[in-house]
Amino acid sequence: MATSGPPRPERQQPQKGNPPPTKYYFAYGSNLCLNQMKKRCPNSRYIGTARLSNHLWHINERGYANVKAAEGHWVEGLVYEIDEADEASLDTYEGVSKNAYHKCLTRVLLQKAPGALYRRPVAWIVNQGGPAEVSRKTESADKAAPRPDVPPQVAANTLTYINLALTGESHPKKEYVKRMNLGISDAVALGIGEDYANPAP
């Protein structure tokens, strides 16, 4: 990945009478936690799990999650649908104005969630007991009425926050560990592989 600067996401102008434009956002850090996403992006909807190819997950010098280009590696995460208000909120939380993260557009391989979860408001999932509880109910419903498997598909122009400058290895901040653990728990409940989330030593 070039480090001269991140590509700027294209902004669509809302048209009168139409719903506000939305875009996909790929989360790989503490925003894997749906309760945190509910607070930060109240209009967000859950889309599914995804894989960002040729990138490596790491904790950078700031003590937070980051990804960097690495041939043959991949990063797993969750994809949400967000609107402009959610995006503005994320920009603030991710420290875009302070260059803590840069806004990049990436291509991810998206596995859409089962029908009962696809495009569900994140707030709804949290209010129903969280990803583990909702996934359990979804699995029961799918067994009662099986649906055909939907193959993964490429989702281009997916918003991803990446620090292109600080790509060294470091240790997570103490307060970040708890938030990441909550996020990993939610991500595993939603289908991210446990082998990826908890690699063997």
Q: What is the pLDDT of residues 72-88, one digit of tens each?
A: 999 999 999 999 999 99
Q: Is 161 labelled a binding residue? A: no
The whole-number pLDDT of residue 17 equals 60
Phi, psi of 112 (to 5 degrees): -65, 145
155 membership: H or E segment, kind and range? strand 153-162
Domain-wise residue ranges, the chain? 27-195
At which residue do the structure tokens 């490596």 appear?
Answer: 56
The whole-number pLDDT of residue 146 equals 52
Residues classed as catalytic = 94
In this structure, are residues 35 and 126 in contact, taking their beta carbons and an 8 Å threshold? yes
- Any idea how long the chain is? 201
Binning pLDDT at 50, 70 and 90, where does residue 138 land? confident
Architecture of the structural domain at 27-195? Roll (3.10)
Q: Is 168 labelled a binding residue? A: no
Q: Is 26 labelled a binding residue? A: yes
Binning pLDDT at 50, 70 and 90, where does residue 142 land? low
pTM comes to 0.86
Measure the CA–CA gap between 133 and 31, rounded to whole angstroms: 19
- Is pLDDT above 50 for 52? yes
